[in-house]
Amino acid sequence: MNSATSAPPARQGTPAAAAAQAAAFEPGRSSQAPGAAARAAALVDAATAEAYARDGAVCLRGLLTPSELALLRAGLDANLAAPSPRTIVASRPDDPGFFIEDFCNWREIAPYRELIFGSALAAVAARLMQSGTARLYHDHMLTKEPGTRQPTPWHQDQPYYNVDGLQNVSFWIPADPVSRAATLEFAAGTHRGPWLMPRTFMTNEARWFPEGSLAELPDIEATRGRADAPHPIIGWALEPGDAVAFHMLTLHATGGVEPGRRRRVFSVRFLGDDMRHAPRRWKTSPEFPGLADELPAGAPLDHPLFPLLWKGADDAAGAPV
């Protein structure tokens, strides 16, 4: 664009600046893994898609190739070496370990971006969501250092977010071996609703929806292991490159990690055809400051912050955009 007609540069840190940075990556011309559609079809067969629709969570063995796993580890190393201002410490000061989370770093951390844009993740997401499209929502790093005691209590993710709709998926991808005792667990079938009250993990405060406006969480632990449990608890030990995929309304939780075992996890979240922007009066997690000024309530998430990475083709597998 001619400098005489160019808009002034957006201030660093504003939604416009972030959107301009995101648009510069031109995801529509990004390279996709060769054979992404075929790889997605192999990873998500009819039985897996049915299990996702029924339980709201599935295990995907070998979701990442060895080269993709190497990219993930490089991204995690970069993220942990220089956490963003969005970082939160999610463990108590007296915890013998350390639990750190960071969000929305695909624009700044090249290995994250290469993994998300250049792998079959979006194609797999579309198949699980039974959606014609897959749009990136955000990334989320979660690292528990050896011996971390801090559990992550039972919760749904979507009440913390700024989106409404049913077609969505989160991938939870470990870069280290995860034992069954330290893995993410799910209450099968809870993605069918209702929405449940989101609370702070360490102080149990209702900082999002007002008290009494949503149902409280059921006592999932009270029926653990029982044959008549309304929502059986499911989970899997995982190797690096494996993943679990789960719906944003599926109740999930995890414990601490064993001494001597680190647990670095990367989550990537995708939105399908029916997902819509739902601005909140409170700070969401993660926060997208100023987005409500640019994207009206009820609108599709058609915004450079949320690039469209997969679009259905004539065949059922879809194609990169």
104-150: per-residue pLDDT in tens?
A: 999 999 999 999 999 999 999 999 999 999 999 999 999 999 999 99
pLDDT at residue 321 in the model: 56
User: Could you give the CA distance from residue 319 to residue 8 in angstroms, rounded to a whole number?
Assistant: 36
3-state secondary structure of 68: helix
CA-based max dimension of the chain: 71
pLDDT at residue 84 in the model: 97
By the 10 Å C-beta count (0-12 exposed, 13-18 middle, 19+ buried), 194 is classed as exposed
User: Could you give the CA distance from residue 297 to residue 294 in angstroms, rounded to a whole number?
Assistant: 10
pLDDT at residue 106 in the model: 98
pLDDT at residue 199 in the model: 87
The pairing of beta strand 243-246 with beta strand 168-174: antiparallel
Any residues with CB less than 8 A from the CB of 316 and at least 6 apart, and which?
none
User: Could you give the CA distance from residue 35 to residue 33 in angstroms, rounded to a whole number?
Assistant: 6
Compute, in degrees rounded to 10, the torsion defined by CA atoms 223, 229, 230, 234.
90
CATH architecture assigned to 41-191+234-320: Sandwich (2.60)
Given CA atoms 15, 16, 21, 25 in this order, what sign does their dihedral have? positive
| Segments of the chain with pLDDT less than 70 | 1-34, 313-321
Domain boundaries defined on the chain: 41-191+234-320
Report the Cα 30 to chain-centroid distance in Å.
21
User: What one-letter code names the amino acid at 161?
Assistant: Y
